[in-house]
Amino acid sequence: MSVCIETYKQVNLVEFLAEHYGLKFKKSGSGFVTGSPFGVDKKPSLFVRQLGSHWLFKDFSSGLGGSIIDIVGHLEQLSGVGEILRRLEQLAGGHCTSVAVEEKPSETRRGYDVGQLYHSFRRQDPDVCRRYLMSRGIDTDLVKELISAGEVVHNRYQGKSYCCFAVRDDSGGLQCLDNHEIDGSGKFVLGAKHVYSRDWQELPHAPEVFITEGIIDYLSMKTLEEEKIPGMALLGNQLIFEPDLLSNCARIISALDEDLGGTAAFVDLVNGYPDKEVTQYPLRDYKDPNELLQSRSRFRRLSPEEKLSLYRTFQRSDNRSELAREWGLDRSHMYAIVRDVEEMVISGLSSRRPGRRPMDQPQTMPDAWQQIDDLKEQNRNLSLERDETICREEFLKLRLKWSEIEAAELRGEPFDEKTGVLKKKQIKKKRKRRR
């Protein structure tokens, strides 16, 4: 029976579940994922992968896991191993052929030397990398150590700046260069991908170890845990290290991303180390350790308006440490923000054309709207002044008319109340009308 069980465990579980139970799988990391057949889940929670020659599954919605024997027993509600094997024979028809994992072709060396590239990158100013890491919330002292040790260098490629990490093995040999775009989300690796760690001496003997996907997350964990726990970064979600590396570790802390790839890698850890405690780091609904780190107030991202306000206050402040405490920021992070604002101001002034802007030309949209309101007010005032002038003119005409009538009365001259003082021609016409 043991031989039969061993044979069934080598059956491709993805094809078996798809054919006999109608499950539809998608590739995820080193395995496959689908919706749980044991209940309702909001997102796919059943993960399947091949470990060695065996196919294994883990269902996170129900907590079930194991081999083809276990999943068929749960799906068919069978309790005995004999019943499960008979059911498997009915389903598989006795054809139990193992299916190998589709391996990715190994990376081929390109036409460059990683060591020469690294030495050329070291000649460039790493200050932009320092500001980038500090803006991501990495501890200031840790950033200084990385730069002084040459573990972080500045790579200028196609007009873009990259924070480049030198990835070395446990003997100190340079394996690859992991590049992170400073003003974007681009990433690429030069050389053969290798696990990154600054704890090679501690890893074989540590009672607990954390594992992250990227180097930024690794450094974030070092900042969050104050470097108390050793760890490693996979440079992805594949377990590309020797299993014996963690042979003496009792507890593995997964600080992998909260996505399908990270979850699949977590399943790999659970299945690859069944004798160890594998736990998830409490990310508190954040995607990865760096998001959790930046959620702290002292490393929070400021809006452009907040950065400008901080810069103005910084220029007037005599106590910079107190200012950092008032803003709830790390002091080194505050200085990095001030430098970024200064660089933006210099860049903005450098891009302006020579010459003075016309006085009546608005510089911003609020200035333009204010100028429109001012013109409306001026137009309204001019209309009022015009109306007042017309009224004053009519009033003066009336006063002049009545003054002439009063003067004619005093002189005894004839006058008309409508037209005023009568002239000689008008008097003659009046006399003719009377006749």
The values of phi and psi at residue 179, to 5°, are: -105, 130
Of 156, 158, 157, 167, the C-alpha closest to 124 is 156
pTM score of the predicted model:
0.52
* Mean pLDDT to the nearest integer, 76-98: 72
pLDDT reported for residue 420: 60
Q: Where are the domains of the chain?
A: 2-92, 114-292, 297-350, 391-435
27: β partners: 32
Choose which CATH entry (3.90.580.10, 3.30.750.24, 3.90.1300.10, 3.40.50.80) describes domain 2-92.
Answer: 3.90.580.10
User: Which range has the worst mean pLDDT, 7-11, 145-149, 227-231, 289-293?
Assistant: 7-11
Tell me the percentage of the chain whose pLDDT exceeds 90: 28
Assess whether pLDDT exceeds 50 at residue 223: yes
Mean pLDDT is highest, among 26-40, 98-112, 157-171, 309-323, for 157-171
pLDDT reported for residue 84: 84
Q: What is the pLDDT of residues 166-207, one digit of tens each?
A: 999 999 999 999 999 998 888 999 988 899 999 999 999 999
Q: Quick one: pLDDT band at residue 424, thresholds 50, 70, 90?
A: low
Contact 134, 143 (CB under 8 A): yes
Assess whether pLDDT exceeds 60 at residue 2: no
pLDDT reported for residue 77: 83
Q: Quick one: pLDDT band at residue 405, thresholds 50, 70, 90?
A: confident
Quote the DSSP letter at residue 364: S
Distance CA 58, CA 74 (A): 13
Other beta carbons within 10 Å of 180: 23
Assess whether pLDDT exceeds 80 at residue 270: yes
Helices (H), 273-423: 289-294, 304-316, 320-327, 331-350, 365-411
pLDDT reported for residue 421: 60
Q: Quick one: pLDDT band at residue 220, thresholds 50, 70, 90?
A: very high
User: Which range has the worst mean pLDDT, 2-16, 102-116, 310-324, 339-353?
Assistant: 102-116
Distance CA 211, CA 289 (A): 11
pLDDT reported for residue 147: 95
Contact 46, 37 (CB under 8 A): yes
* Mean pLDDT to the nearest integer, 137-164: 93
Of 127, 135, 211, 132, the C-alpha closest to 179 is 132
* Mean pLDDT to the nearest integer, 233-253: 88
Q: Quick one: pLDDT band at residue 144, thresholds 50, 70, 90?
A: very high
Q: Quick one: pLDDT band at residue 325, thresholds 50, 70, 90?
A: low
Helices (H), 295-364: 304-316, 320-327, 331-350
pLDDT reported for residue 14: 92
User: What H or E segment, with its residue span, contains residue 47?
Assistant: strand 46-51
For domain 114-292, the CATH class is alpha beta
